[in-house]
Structure 1
Amino acid sequence: MANRDIVAIGTSAGGVKALIALAQNFPEQLSAAVLVTIHLPADAKSVLDEILTGAGPLPAHFAEDGETMRTGHIHIAPPGRHLLMEDDRLRLGHGPRENNVRPAIDPMLRSAAICCGPRLIGVVLTGTLGDGASGLWAVGACGGITVVQDPADAEFAQMPETALERVRADHVVGLADLPKLLARLVDQPAGLPVPVPDGLRFDVEIARTGRAAMHELDHHGRRSVLACPDCGGVMWEFDEGELLRFRCHVGHAYTAEMMTLALDENVRRAIASALRGFEERIALVEKLAEQSEHDARPSLAANWRQRAIEYRREIAVLEEALQRMDRAGSRVVAE
């Protein structure tokens, strides 16, 4: 029976420091391939591969499409592409963003879970928001081992906390104890394969190709009353244990928490647009008031100035609405 020879790690804010700490303490003869997805901006060059290679004994590089995974190597998702697995080969997906990011953690964990099941150890480290919770659920559902950094130990606790709220993790550990735990787990024999949950292969195919068929979405989920925050298209709802996910017909995907934040951002943009509209109206009616006064039409000038006062009242209402949304958002992040 094979050992647990694949470690897939997902992280976000605070992740570079956490990955360096892991790389420094990995054993030289780690009998597993390590996959890493960290949220990287698509338009910026990253030297994370050089940093991790210099930090410890394992060489690190950005994954290339079609390459074979190598034991004792760290394969990193490149900016702008989802890191996926297919029959022990790495694939770079160009599907849409998930949880508003690409590369995203969930597609990597799902594809590794489908490919390797009990051979897989899925890990979620420090980060904000909830990327990784859905993918970790897939790891456990396919027979893999689930590991979450102790939120009290994480630089940013929200991502580990969300994962623990949605998944019963096999191990919850501090960063200092994680390398020893992984070294022990990878030398253990993997369990027997288990059936892949319905819909996971479809999710991975979307991440790889960017194509989502409506009839397949209808088969795997149920239509939602909500519209996609990205493209405005129809969305479908999916239940994964305790987790509720959304995906649109284009392929954009969100957890419920991320959906809330994305919709809030759309409302903020709409309010900001309304504010600009009212400011433009004030500028126009004040110009009209000045013109009316110049033409000796005081009654009309007063009417225009009264409109400006009303527009300023509307602006105050909108600004207060924005402040309430910001206060509510701050409370959610703090919780």
Structure 2
Amino acid sequence: MLQFPLIVVGGSAGRIQPLINLAKGLPADFRAAVCIVIHISAHNPSYFPEILARAGPLPATHAQHLGRIESGHVYCAPPRHHLLIENGHFRITTGPKENGVRPAIDPLFRSAAHQQGSNVIGVVMSGMLDDGASGLWAIRHSGGITVVQDPNDAEYDSMPRSALNHVDADYTVRSQNLASLMIDLVSESAQRRLDIEAAIKEHVPLDPLA
């Protein structure tokens, strides 16, 4: 398991400005990796990593096949490829389309849930139809944290509403508050790790309700 939280984000129509706001709101010392799948045209180059890199302090790139996942980075799925998580690295595939698209959100979410379990924070944002719902369910049932953009805040509410219909999400949030929520969740995760390490060193049972 990675030694830092893995944030996986999926969006479709209406997701650009909220994701720019997310990148803008995250600090330079952010102790998590952010992986993003957005539905993009297979016929045009994607400049989305460059847009995110200009928007905020974190480096943003297209994920590379077998590339190592690093904290403090934003990774985007490349056009025409699914983005998967495997043993702390990326796997880029040209497998069958899911929900009519490639890249699709569900493959990233499912692989993250399988590989990282409770270490994952999954976020479904604005978009049409229902990509991301089953993947968010997998994250929820693997012990991860689930977040959905408030449908009333989304330019296109089908994806957020579908996610909420299938998953009892931990948080429903307006896009303007997403970055601050991520900062809080990552900070809580870091503190939890410190508590576990201290308990192990001192041979003190960790309070499961803490």
TM-score by length of 2: 0.88
Q: Residue 5 of structure 2 contacts residue 189 of structure 2 at CA under 8 Å; is this kept in 1? A: no
Matches of 2:167 and 2:135 in 1, distance apart? Answer: 10
Matches of 1:86 and 1:143 in 2, distance apart? Answer: 18
- Match in the other structure for 2:198: none
- Match in the other structure for 1:112: 112
- Match in the other structure for 2:98: 98
Matches of 1:67 and 1:133 in 2, distance apart? Answer: 27
- Match in the other structure for 2:86: 86
Q: Residue 148 of structure 1 contacts residue 163 of structure 1 at CA under 8 Å; is this kept in 2? A: yes
Distance 1:132 1:88, change over 3 A: same
Any residues of structure 2 matched to 1:213-224 within 5 Å, and which?
none
The answer as to 2:65 corresponding to 1:54 is no
Any residues of structure 2 matched to 1:147-158 within 5 Å, and which?
147-158=147-158
- Match in the other structure for 2:204: none
Q: CA deviation at 1:188?
A: 2.1
Q: Residue 41 of structure 2 contacts residue 79 of structure 2 at CA under 8 Å; is this kept in 1? A: yes
Q: Residue 129 of structure 1 contacts residue 159 of structure 1 at CA under 8 Å; is this kept in 2? A: yes
Q: CA deviation at 1:155?
A: 1.1
Any residues of structure 2 matched to 1:225-236 within 5 Å, and which?
none
Distance 1:74 1:2, change over 3 A: closer
Higher helix proportion (structure 1 or 2): 1
Matches of 1:92 and 1:3 in 2, distance apart? Answer: 22
Is there any run of 5+ residues in structure 1 with no aligned partner, and where?
Answer: 193-335
Q: SS in structure 2 opposite 1:49?
A: helix
- Match in the other structure for 1:184: 184
Amino acid across the alignment from 2:139: V
Distance 1:2 1:100, change over 3 A: closer
Matches of 1:120 and 1:59 in 2, distance apart? Answer: 20
Q: CA deviation at 1:189?
A: 3.1
Q: Residue 4 of structure 1 contacts residue 118 of structure 1 at CA under 8 Å; is this kept in 2? A: no
Any residues of structure 2 matched to 1:16-31 within 5 Å, and which?
16-31=16-31
Amino acid across the alignment from 2:114: I
Amino acid across the alignment from 1:97: K
Matches of 1:73 and 1:163 in 2, distance apart? Answer: 26
Matches of 1:179 and 1:11 in 2, distance apart? Answer: 15
Q: CA deviation at 1:2?
A: 7.5
The answer as to 2:126 corresponding to 1:126 is yes
RMSD of aligned Cα (Å): 1.7
Q: CA deviation at 1:183?
A: 0.6
Matches of 1:71 and 1:2 in 2, distance apart? Answer: 9
Q: How many residues align?
A: 192
Amino acid across the alignment from 2:77: A
Any residues of structure 2 matched to 1:143-182 within 5 Å, and which?
143-182=143-182
Amino acid across the alignment from 2:188: Q
Matches of 2:189 and 2:180 in 1, distance apart? Answer: 17
- Match in the other structure for 1:295: none
Matches of 2:152 and 2:19 in 1, distance apart? Answer: 17
Is there any run of 5+ residues in structure 2 with no aligned partner, and where?
Answer: 194-210
Matches of 1:51 and 1:61 in 2, distance apart? Answer: 10
TM-score by length of 1: 0.56
RCO comparison, higher one (Cα < 8 Å, 6+): 2
Matches of 2:49 and 2:35 in 1, distance apart? Answer: 12
Any residues of structure 2 matched to 1:1-335 within 5 Å, and which?
5-189=5-189
Distance 1:92 1:42, change over 3 A: same
Matches of 1:29 and 1:127 in 2, distance apart? Answer: 30
